[in-house]
């Protein structure tokens, strides 16, 4: 696969991503194998889409796919109210097992709000799976139940991760090439 011009270095190839994600599917199968009700898999659009689509291919459990779109307003707005739901789940989650699927956790602020909103609806359980874990900027006590890969202080693109909504389609994850002056 030819590297995109704006990619500096490929961190995780398509093959590496697929291999690790199949291990994550095994974890999901193991975690929910004794549950009677279908697992509600909640993808946070748009970034989680490629990860979620690969992850569910390995599911042997019964599941229902659902999606949310949330938008973050940033830190200069009231901290209790800075995530707006643009698209909500299309079903009641009371007493259901919920697995939130994210492509990356950075500060954790988005997920902290989403978790609070969903917990208020009294699910039976709520777990978080993320493809990338970027602990270095964490400002909350939000941590995933499992993650694919840990990365350092770098901006990454591809496989759902975007730069101003572009480059999500790349089949690998790479670092963004910052133009030298």
Count of Cβ atoms closer than 10 Å to residue 144 Cβ: 18
- The reply on whether position 108 binds Mg ion by CB under 5 A is no
Count of Cβ atoms closer than 10 Å to residue 159 Cβ: 25
- The reply on whether position 158 binds ligand IMP by CB under 6 A is no
Torsion 25-30-32-38 (CA) sign: positive
Q: Among this protein's residues, is 88 annotated catalytic?
A: no
- Residue among 32 and 147 whose Cβ is closer to Mg ion: 147
Give residues with Cβ within 8 angstroms of 180, minimum separation 6: none
Which partner in Mg ion, ligand IMP, none is near 108 (CB below 5 to 8 A by kind)?
A: ligand IMP
Q: Which of 99, 104, 9 is nearest to 50 (CA)?
A: 104
Whose structure tokens read 């929910």? 32
Mask: binding to ligand IMP, 109-148, rule CB under 6 A, as x and -? xx-----------------------x--------------
Which partner in ligand IMP, Mg ion, none is near 133 (CB below 5 to 8 A by kind)?
A: none
Give residues with Cβ within 8 angstroms of 157, minimum separation 6: 6, 7, 163, 167, 168, 170, 173, 174, 175, 176
Contact segment (CB under 6 A) with ligand IMP among 1-9, 21-29, 59-67, 103-111 equals: 103-111
Contact segment (CB under 6 A) with ligand IMP among 1-9, 55-63, 89-97, 102-110 equals: 102-110
62, 106, 145, 153: the active-site residue: 106
Contact segment (CB under 5 A) with Mg ion among 21-29, 46-54, 79-87, 140-148 equals: 46-54
Q: Which of 115, 116, 148, 118 is nearest to 130 (CA)?
A: 148
- Active-site residue list: 106
Query: Interface with ligand IMP by CB under 6 A: which residues?
Result: 47, 102-110, 134, 155-156, 161-162
């Amino acid at each position: 696969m030819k590297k995109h011009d704006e990619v500096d270095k490929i961190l995780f190839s398509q093959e590496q991503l697929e291999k690790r994600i199949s291990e994550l599917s095994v974890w999901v199968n193991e975690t929910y194998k004794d549950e009677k009700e279908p697992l509600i898999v909640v993808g946070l659009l748009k970034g989680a889409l490629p990860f979620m689509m690969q992850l569910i291919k390995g599911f042997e459990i019964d599941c229902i796919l659902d999606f949310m779109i949330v938008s973050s307003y940033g830190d200069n707005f009231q901290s209790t109210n800075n995530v707006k739901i643009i698209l909500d789940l299309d079903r009641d989650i009371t007493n259901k097992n919920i697995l939130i699927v994210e492509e990356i956790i950075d500060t954790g602020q988005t997920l902290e709000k989403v978790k609070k909103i969903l917990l208020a609806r009294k699910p039976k359980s709520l777990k978080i799976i993320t493809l990338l874990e970027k602990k270095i900027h964490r400002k909350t006590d939000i941590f995933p139940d499992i993650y694919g890969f840990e990365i350092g202080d770098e901006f990454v693109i591809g496989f759902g991760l975007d730069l101003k909504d572009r480059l999500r389609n790349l089949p690998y994850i790479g670092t963004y090439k910052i133009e030298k002056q």
